Structure 1
Amino acid sequence: MTLRISLRDGEQMIVNGAVLRASGRVELEVENRVAILRGREIMNPTDATTPARRLYLACMLSYIDEPGRTIHHDMVVALLGDLLGVLESPRARTVCLDFAQHVAIGDYYRALGSCRALIDYEAAALARGEKEFAQ
């Protein structure tokens, strides 16, 4: 199955660990299985400022850095354990378990999708906490 990707001028993507930048508008067709992240899916290490974001970064590195996958995977497991220890919401815990299932079978790309949901949950919880703290 062919994957079609459109990149805007200057947009980055990672293919099997290599960072690529589009020069002009680019249409690509990927015809085999590779680790691909588009610009909006790439997290800079300086943006990993919360527990869910650190989990996303470790998972992303597991996905794109095959030689270092074992180290990154161990970090994913540790961070997931920490996160599960503090989450109270049944929905957030379910998303964590979904994430863990994807990681367990090596489907890091789908795990990243689950982790984005955790980042959204975390952001909403932090916003609620800040609002309560300000009152």
Structure 2
Amino acid sequence: MSLKITLRDGEKLVINGAVVRSVGRTEVHVENHVAILRGREVMNPYEATTPARKLYFACMMAYIQPEQIDLYRDQILALLSDLLDALEAPEAKAACASFARKVALSDFYRALEECRGLLSYEATALSRDPLAA
């Protein structure tokens, strides 16, 4: 079974680290297992300005650059430790534990989903929009 992705004109897609931009409305069918992120899921390095954002960025890089997994896993563990030290809410700590389980299983795409919840929590704690850099 293939994965069907529909892209708007100019929308970006990262496939195994390669950035692809659609020209016109485009439909892509992926027939095998690859690391894929839609443009809205991609964070630029200059946007990684808070503990949760740095964690998201390191996890994203581990997902799209598996050949450097050891480097990124070490960064993720250090950043997660720092974030856990800063968090007080039990639900945020539980999200960190769920994130850590997914990273331990090398399920980085689902770890990114979990980390988006941490971005929202952090943004609320800092009283700002989670998607604004």
**TM-score computed with the length of structure 2 as normaliser:** 0.93
What's the offset of the Cα at 1:57? Answer: 0.1
- Say which one has the larger Rg: 1
Which residue in the other structure is 1:132 paired with?
none
What CA distance in whole angstroms lies between the structure 1 residues aligned with 2:18 and 2:75?
22
**TM-score computed with the length of structure 1 as normaliser:** 0.92
What CA distance in whole angstroms lies between the structure 2 residues aligned with 1:57 and 1:100?
15
What CA distance in whole angstroms lies between the structure 2 residues aligned with 1:83 and 1:34?
29
Compute the RMSD of aligned alpha carbons: 1.0
Which residue in the other structure is 2:101 paired with?
101
Look up the equivalent residue of 2:70 and give its one-letter code.
Answer: T
Percent identity of the aligned residues? 57
What CA distance in whole angstroms lies between the structure 1 residues aligned with 2:23 and 2:68?
30
Instruction: Confirm or deny that 1:56 pairs with 2:69.
Output: no
What CA distance in whole angstroms lies between the structure 2 residues aligned with 1:127 and 1:26?
37
- Write the mapping of 1:46-85 to structure 2, written as runs, cut at 5 A: 46-85=46-85
Number of residue-to-residue matches in the alignment = 128
Which residue in the other structure is 1:133 paired with?
none
Gaps of 5+ in 2: 129-133
Look up the equivalent residue of 1:48 and give its one-letter code.
Answer: A
What CA distance in whole angstroms lies between the structure 2 residues aligned with 1:96 and 1:11?
30
What CA distance in whole angstroms lies between the structure 2 residues aligned with 1:6 and 1:72?
30
What CA distance in whole angstroms lies between the structure 1 residues aligned with 2:70 and 2:18?
19
Which residue in the other structure is 2:131 paired with?
none
Look up the equivalent residue of 2:47 and give its one-letter code.
Answer: D
Aligned to 1:123, the other structure's residue is in SS state helix
What's the offset of the Cα at 1:70? Answer: 1.1
What CA distance in whole angstroms lies between the structure 2 residues aligned with 1:42 and 1:73?
18
What CA distance in whole angstroms lies between the structure 2 residues aligned with 1:18 and 1:82?
31
What's the offset of the Cα at 1:4? Answer: 0.9
Instruction: Confirm or deny that 1:8 pairs with 2:4.
Output: no
Instruction: Confirm or deny that 1:42 pairs with 2:35.
Output: no
What CA distance in whole angstroms lies between the structure 1 residues aligned with 2:91 and 2:126?
16
- Identify, as 1 or 2, the structure richer in helix: 1
Which residue in the other structure is 2:24 paired with?
24
Look up the equivalent residue of 1:37 and give its one-letter code.
Answer: L
What's the offset of the Cα at 1:67? Answer: 1.6
